[in-house]
Amino acid sequence: MSKGLKIYFAIMAIIAIMFTVLAFVIPFEKKSYATFIVSYVGVLVALAVQCYVGVLVFKKSTSLRSKVYGIPVIRVSIIYLILQMITSVVLMITNAFVLVPVFIPAIILVLLTGFAAIGVLITVGAKSIIESIEKEEKQKTAFMNNFKIEVESLENKTSDSDFNKDIHKFVEKVKYSDPMSANELVDIENEISIKYDTLKDNILNEKLDDAKKDLAEINDLVDKRNRMCKLNK
């Protein structure tokens, strides 16, 4: 259990204890004990919903951004808790002076819980969609992001200053290339990967003539990929 979730549970437990003590210790007359109990249970249900939402946001979220996306879910559940607490307190106080039929707090409990459940489901659904899109985009940019890191390692690896400049130009080209991949780019990206491995080996083995040919070919491949990216927009 994460630290954030433990703190969240602790806060809900403190609220539950405080509300329970105040509800049963304050000597209000109870015209209808059933109305009092239903009003009290309504708050406990709302607190239980908070704990469930806490698990959704703090435990099932795998990244900081995912937790941020969970903030609207928490907002909905907290609004529900506040409304339920206010309603329960008002009903308890009213029930001390006037007989409040038990169906009134029961109906309010059902309506508030129902609307809260709908609100939580909608915001959780939106959160899931955003996370799915984010995951898909991350997968689509994985090739170029990794490739950028790889090509940067080639800089200043040879004793040929002119060739080092050409490598630097290539690194800059890759850096500013469209990062988004697509199914149509799989073949060309595989060619780029294979050619890059050859280029890297020739540079490490100081086969500069072969490496220069490889660099020219991989430059053409990256240009071709960039043109294909534009066509797929």
| Contact present, 172 and 217 (Cβ < 8 Å) | no
**pLDDT value at position 44?**
94
User: Which residue, of 112, 137, 162, is where some domain finishes?
Assistant: 137
Q: Looking at the structure, do residues 50 and 121 belong to the same domain, yes or no?
A: yes
User: Which residue, of 110, 137, 164, is where some domain finishes?
Assistant: 137
User: Which residue, of 116, 137, 158, is where some domain finishes?
Assistant: 137
CA distance 86 to 164: 71
Q: Looking at the structure, do residues 104 and 180 belong to the same domain, yes or no?
A: no
Q: Looking at the structure, do residues 148 and 110 belong to the same domain, yes or no?
A: no
For tokens 């329960």, the residue is 88
**pLDDT value at position 3?**
77
SS (H, E, C) 135-190: HHHHHHCHHHHHHHHHHHCCCCCCCCHHHHHHHHHHHHHHHCCCCCCCHHHHHHHH
Count Cα atoms within 13 angstroms, Cβ side, for 93: 7
| Contact present, 36 and 30 (Cβ < 8 Å) | yes
**pLDDT value at position 139?**
65
CA distance 32 to 213: 91
Q: What angle do CA 120, 121, 124 make, to 5 degrees?
A: 80
Q: Looking at the structure, do residues 99 and 80 belong to the same domain, yes or no?
A: yes
**pLDDT value at position 137?**
67
The two three-digit tokens of residue 231, written as one number: 């066509």
Count of structural domains within the chain? 2
Q: What is the pLDDT along the chain (233 residues), one digit of tens a residue?
A: 677 788 888 999 999 999 999 989 888 788 899 999 999 999 999 999 988 888 877 765 555 555 556 677 788 889 999 999 999 999 999 998 999 999 999 999 999 989 988 888 887 777 777 667 667 666 667 788 888 888 888 888 888 888 888 889 988 888 888 877 777 888 888 888 898 889 888 888 888 888 899 889 998 998 888 888 877 66
CA distance 222 to 191: 10
Domain residues for the domain of 74 are 3-137
The two three-digit tokens of residue 33, written as one number: 């004990």
pTM: 0.59
Q: Looking at the structure, do residues 49 and 147 belong to the same domain, yes or no?
A: no
Q: Looking at the structure, do residues 184 and 201 belong to the same domain, yes or no?
A: yes
Q: Looking at the structure, do residues 125 and 37 belong to the same domain, yes or no?
A: yes
The two three-digit tokens of residue 41, written as one number: 């249970």
**pLDDT value at position 59?**
65
Q: Looking at the structure, do residues 12 and 108 belong to the same domain, yes or no?
A: yes
